[in-house]
Amino acid sequence: MNPGLLVSLLAAAQLLLALAMGFAFCRLLRGPHAQDRVLALDTLYVNAMLLILSFGIVWASREFFEVALVIGALGFVSTAAAAKFLLRGEVIE
Partner 1 sequence: MTTVAAVLVLAGALLAFVGSLGLLRMKTFFERVHPPTMGSTLGTVLVLAGSLLYFTAVESRLVLHEILIAVFVTVTTPVTYLLLGRAALRREHESGGEEPPRSDEGQH
14 binds partner 1 (CB under 8 A): yes
CB-neighbour burial class of residue 48 (10 A; exposed 0-12, middle 13-18, buried 19+): buried
Q: How far apart are CA 26 and CA 37, in angstroms?
A: 10
Alpha helices in the chain (DSSP H): 3-30, 34-58, 63-88
- Among 60, 63, 90, 93, the residue binding partner 1 under the rule CB under 8 A is 60
CB of 92 to partner 1, least distance (A): 14
The site string for partner 1 over 21-40 (x = CB under 8 A, - otherwise) reads x-xx-xx-----xxxx-xxx
Quick one: which H or E segment has residue 61? none
80 binds partner 1 (CB under 8 A): yes
90 binds partner 1 (CB under 8 A): no
92 binds partner 1 (CB under 8 A): no
